Amino acid sequence: MTSQKATRINLFSLATPQMRAFHLTWLAFFVCFFAWFATAPLMPIIKGDLHLTNDEVYNITIAGVFATILARFLIGPMCDKYGPRITYTLLLALGAIPVFGIAFAWDYASFFVFRLVIGIIGASFVVTQYHTSVMFAPNVVGTANATVGGWGNAGGGATQSIMPLVVAGVAALGLSQAISWRYAMIVPGVLMLIVAVLYWKFTQDTPEGNVLELRRQGIVVDSGKKGGWDVMKTAAKNYRVWLLAACYAASFGVELFVHGIAATYYFNKFHLSVENAGFAVGAFGALALFARALGGIISDRIAKFKGLDGRIWMLAGLMMSEGIFLIAFSQANIVALAIVTMLVFGLFTHMACGGIYALVPFIDRKVLGGVTGIVGAGGNIGGVAAGFLLRGTGNVPLCFFILGCAAIICALGALAIRFSLQHKQAEQALYDQAIAQRGMMAEPGSDTAMA
């Protein structure tokens, strides 16, 4: 049977289930990322309100990404078993509860607990990548994965710039900053509930329909399995999964660390205002609007001529570049130089993230949820490791230097990824089939296609 996966990204279309999934996955991830890091740019205010010590702030930074590790391990098999539509809707709706709850934190312990639980919504990334992986064909899946991931990640940059403005707007009504940041948390919580309704109403699990309904009809869905721990155990036996997880730890983990600590870093070291520090880090997050997509697009283009090996070489080059400029950022003592080097290493970091998830769908199609979950969890393990590194050293520049060295090591590790000739031939056949199918199908809106 001819695959119903989309062979083209018609960017301005909502006519097909593939494109509705495309746009709602990035929107859902954007809102989750926005809520996930909504408190980060406000930490100078919150620190004063709750009388937090530096060590307590470091602990909160770690807590913000710690819970996501377990959640990402769990969410992948859930996608295989129940489908991304149900999984994402539940994650959005339930995740809004601690977002609202953090507004009522009264001391360090209560804030820490709410911040820890909020980290669960970081698992939204796994659902996003899973959903587009089952909706798009091999010739564009890298572009689709990287684009929705990048546009969603931009929520982390948007929150750095927007939340301080929301607080300022609330304070303009006559409330103190200590109260204003609490009212501001209503915004991300409400957005999550709205998107939960949209996701339930307008998406479906696969091009053919919803997973549970297809199984009731006796139809084998994309993974060919019913999900659960068998999927995770099979994925965990594949060494390529762990090498990619390490790369994601050194790329997305760095991104998490920047979102969690950079605003405070600029505030303390360069004496920027809360608003200007937020804008500086927001520029880093804004790179996700195009840089992740660029990584996926280049990976798809290289695959046309060099196959899976080309995807691996590109990823290694991006990781190496990230590491070099991250080290340069760690040594910058002038604010302008710090921002410039941050944006350069940020460009390569976001592109590397896109390149990783342009490779993920080809590791093992039968356990896609497990692969996606483990690699995604790797990113959060990197973020937590960076947090503990900061907790132990108390030196932010040194942390960035060490993370740069880790990125270079992971670049070398990426080169160790190998695929059998049979695997490469099978994937190339699917790629060629998608290209041929795209040429035969007269898809509407092709003049606005992204790929």
* Domain of residue 393, CATH code: 1.20.1250.20
Give the count of alpha carbons within 13 A of 28, CB side only: 36
**The two structure tokens encoding residue 44:** 């100078």
pLDDT per position as a tens digit, 106-149? 999 999 999 999 999 999 999 999 999 999 998 899 999 999 99
Q: Determine, yes or no, domain membership for 70.
A: yes
Helix (H, G, I), strand (E, B) or coil at 136: strand
Handedness of CA 94, 98, 99, 103 (dihedral sign): positive
Q: What is the pLDDT of residue 83?
A: 92
Structural domains in the chain (count): 1
Answer yes or no: pTM beyond 0.85.
no
Distance CA 241, CA 261 (A): 28
Distance CA 246, CA 350 (A): 15
Helix (H, G, I), strand (E, B) or coil at 7: coil
Q: Determine, yes or no, domain membership for 12.
A: no
Q: Determine, yes or no, domain membership for 2.
A: no
Q: Determine, yes or no, domain membership for 9.
A: no
Contact 198, 319 (CB under 8 A): no
User: What does residue 136 show for φ and ψ, rounded to 5 degrees?
Assistant: -120, 145
Q: What is the pLDDT of residue 446?
A: 44
Q: Determine, yes or no, domain membership for 445.
A: no
The DSSP code for 331 is T
Q: Determine, yes or no, domain membership for 4.
A: no
Residues in the chain: 451
Contact 319, 408 (CB under 8 A): yes
Q: Give the chain's residues under pLDDT 70.
A: 1-3, 220-229, 441-451
Instruction: Residue 424: give the domain boundaries.
Output: 17-440
- Distance linking the first and last C-alpha atoms of the chain: 24
Q: Determine, yes or no, domain membership for 371.
A: yes
Distance CA 130, CA 126 (A): 6
Contact 347, 317 (CB under 8 A): no
Distance CA 366, CA 295 (A): 25
**The two structure tokens encoding residue 343:** 């944006």
Distance CA 88, CA 75 (A): 9
Q: What is the pLDDT of residue 179?
A: 94
Q: Determine, yes or no, domain membership for 10.
A: no
